[in-house]
């Protein structure tokens, strides 16, 4: 699921209805999006990734120099949180 907020986004959308009454456990369902190209670039970084846990609304954002690093950053963050 993409986490893109647009200027015309309204609060009338009920996203919890799509989830149902079941709430997933921590890190059971992570939603994320890769955004970029950042212009002007922030040093070597041209992209950023946003991760949100569906159960706790925990979120994390990190900068990426290429899109190829996204999966490695996701795994590193999950390992960091599990320990």
Alpha helices in the chain (DSSP H): 16-19, 70-82
Q: Show pLDDT as tens, one digit a residue, over the chain (83 residues).
A: 333 433 444 444 445 555 556 666 777 788 889 998 888 888 999 999 998 887 788 888 999 999 999 999 988 888 887 76
User: Which of 64, 28, 67, 59 shows the shortest CA–CA distance to 44?
Assistant: 64
pTM of the full predicted structure?
0.61
Q: Is 45 exposed, middle or buried (0-12, 13-18, 19+ CB in 10 A)?
A: middle
**Rounded Cα distance, 55 and 53, in Å:** 6
The Cβ of residue 49 has, within 10 Å, a number of other Cβ atoms equal to 21
Predicted local confidence at residue 66, as pLDDT: 92
* Beta pairing class for 30-36 and 47-53: antiparallel
């Amino acid at each position: 699921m993409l986490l893109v907020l647009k200027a015309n986004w309204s609060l009338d959308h009920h996203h919890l209805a799509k989830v149902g009454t079941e709430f997933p456990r921590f890190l059971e369902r992570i939603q994320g999006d890769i955004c970029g190209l950042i212009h002007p670039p922030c040093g070597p970084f041209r992209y950023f990734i946003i991760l949100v846990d569906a159960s706790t609304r925990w979120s994390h954002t990190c900068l990426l120099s290429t899109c190829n690093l996204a999966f490695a950053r996701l795994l590193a963050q999950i390992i960091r949180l599990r320990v």
